[in-house]
Amino acid sequence: MPNLADPRTFAAHDMDEIWRGLRERDPVHWHPESDYGPGFWVVSRYADVLDVLRDDTVYTSEKGNVLATMLNGGDSGGGRMLAVSDGEYHTELRKLLLKAFAPRVLEPVVHRVRRTARRLLAEAIERGGCDVARDIASVLPLETICDLLDVPAGDRQYVFKLTKSALSLDYESQSGEDPAARREILIYFSGLVAERRKSLGSDPISLMATGEVGGKRLDDITIILNCYSLVMGGDGTNRLAIIGAVKALMDNPDQWEALRSGAVTPEAACEEVLRWTTPTMHFGRTALADTTLGGKRIAAGDLVTLWFASANRDEAVFPDPGRFDLGRAPNKHVALGYARHFCLGGYLGRAEITAMLDALRVAAVGMRQTAPERYLYSNFLQGMSSLQIELDGDAAALADTDE
């Protein structure tokens, strides 16, 4: 069993084979301590993953939900950021933020998502190709989250640059998160929070600045941390899913034809893209009390990691899980989480992926990879940092389709 705390593991091994072995022989596996930190449980079966995600009275996210932070003593935003909070606080904060994420409220943002996706693809077709990661997938999610947070147009290139640096996970350079860029993002959002307190809007920052959780107003640090979480969450999953979708379509011509011909809808295809790519490999919990999972005794204080990358390949739930099948139904993947911690931006993320699939369906004719893809250096996110392609198509078809 390789060390799952080591990012190099995910570049050096066939992880599908490792997950399959764990599901068959040791679905709740104890991972020993290493140079990266203490030991932790590895949960690989779909049913067990759901059992843990349902129960935030026994398993808490407040001590961190990402392996790297859990192994280093916990998350500094625990109990404050939505992603690492539980109980009544989580419920009230989620209810507050959902006002900005309701489908009706997001209609103008989703309309801009469609326009941006078509514009980016049209530009790539006119150039004859692109790096999907750099030219499309790194742009669309960040433009969308900036629209959602109402980041001023003049600030957006600065925010894009900081976000890219803060989560630069290129395997060749083996570079990880840049703490300096992370600090700069937090400083930037502190200024934006101060501005919104003076001039409110309907965006999530304004909602947090005026709303109450537990009968108290949220302080600036809590709002800033949640802004950071929204930016990073909105960027990572959707970016990597879009890159992975283009790669999978090139590798599976029958599925590319099914999408182009209308045999499957972009909405249905989006679900398989999410399952297939599963950009967020895991989330973690800490046991609050002694319990049992999959026949194993979990002690209070134990770290428990839930591997979505394995659950979304579980043969007990997904027939022929190693096949990329855009028409797969049902497709109850956990790429966006589950239960109380289901991704807050799930609707918006699906809109981004669907918009790009639809743009490809409408205008792209041929796609060919022109250089070896590069993968991330991470034990948390999986996917590509570069995918260079040649692209044939009809850019005018995208200009004529303005919904």
Per-domain residue ranges for the chain?
A: 9-399
Is pLDDT at 172 greater than 60 in this prediction?
Answer: no
Decide: 245 and 277 in contact? Cβ < 8 Å: yes
The tokens for 31 are: 């991972």
Residue 59 host element (H or E): strand 59-60
Q: What is the pLDDT of residue 176?
A: 53
What does DSSP assign to residue 384? E
Helix (H, G, I), strand (E, B) or coil at 48: helix
Which candidate, 308, 266, 337, places its Cα nearest to that of 42? 308
Decide: 20 and 29 in contact? Cβ < 8 Å: no
Burial of 150 (0-12, 13-18, 19+ CB in 10 A): middle
323-338: per-residue pLDDT in tens? 999 999 999 999 999 9
Decide: 18 and 42 in contact? Cβ < 8 Å: no
Q: What is the pLDDT of residue 337?
A: 95
Is pLDDT at 164 greater than 90 in this prediction?
Answer: no
Decide if domain 9-399 falls under CATH 1.10.630.10: yes
Q: Report the chain's C-alpha Rg in angstroms.
A: 21
Is pLDDT at 63 greater than 90 in this prediction?
Answer: yes
- Mean local confidence (pLDDT), 24-43: 97
At 11, is the pLDDT very low, low, confident or very high (cuts 50, 70, 90)?
A: confident
Return the number of other C-beta atoms located less than 10 Å from residue 263's C-beta.
13
CA 42 to chain centre: 20
Q: What is the pLDDT of residue 167?
A: 61
Where does 115-230 show beta strands of DSSP type E?
Answer: 129-131, 212-213, 216-217
Which candidate, 270, 204, 203, places its Cα nearest to that of 237? 270
Is pLDDT at 312 greater than 50 in this prediction?
Answer: yes
> Which of 11-15, 130-134, 159-163 ranks highest by mean pLDDT?
130-134
At 227, is the pLDDT very low, low, confident or very high (cuts 50, 70, 90)?
A: very high
At 401, is the pLDDT very low, low, confident or very high (cuts 50, 70, 90)?
A: very low
CA angle 90, 93, 94 (to 5 degrees): 80
Is pLDDT at 80 greater than 60 in this prediction?
Answer: yes
Decide: 55 and 286 in contact? Cβ < 8 Å: no
- Pick from 89-93, 195-199, 256-260, 321-325: least confident: 195-199
- Mean local confidence (pLDDT), 201-210: 93
At 89, is the pLDDT very low, low, confident or very high (cuts 50, 70, 90)?
A: very high
Q: Which strands, in side-by-side order, build the sheet including 388-393?
A: 129-131, 388-393, 364-369
CA 310 to chain centre: 16
The tokens for 338 are: 């589950």
The tokens for 320 are: 């022929």
- Mean local confidence (pLDDT), 366-395: 94
114-151: per-residue pLDDT in tens? 999 999 999 999 999 999 999 999 999 999 999 999 99
Residue pointed to by tokens 């629209």:
147
Is pLDDT at 171 greater than 50 in this prediction?
Answer: no
Q: What is the pLDDT of residue 236?
A: 83
Is pLDDT at 160 greater than 50 in this prediction?
Answer: yes
Q: What is the pLDDT of residue 112?
A: 95
101-110: per-residue pLDDT in tens? 999 999 999 9
The sign of the dihedral angle between the CA atoms of 18, 21, 343, 215 is negative
Widest pairwise Cα distance in the chain:
61
Mean pLDDT of the chain: 93
Helix (H, G, I), strand (E, B) or coil at 359: helix
339-376: per-residue pLDDT in tens? 999 999 999 999 999 999 999 999 999 999 999 999 98
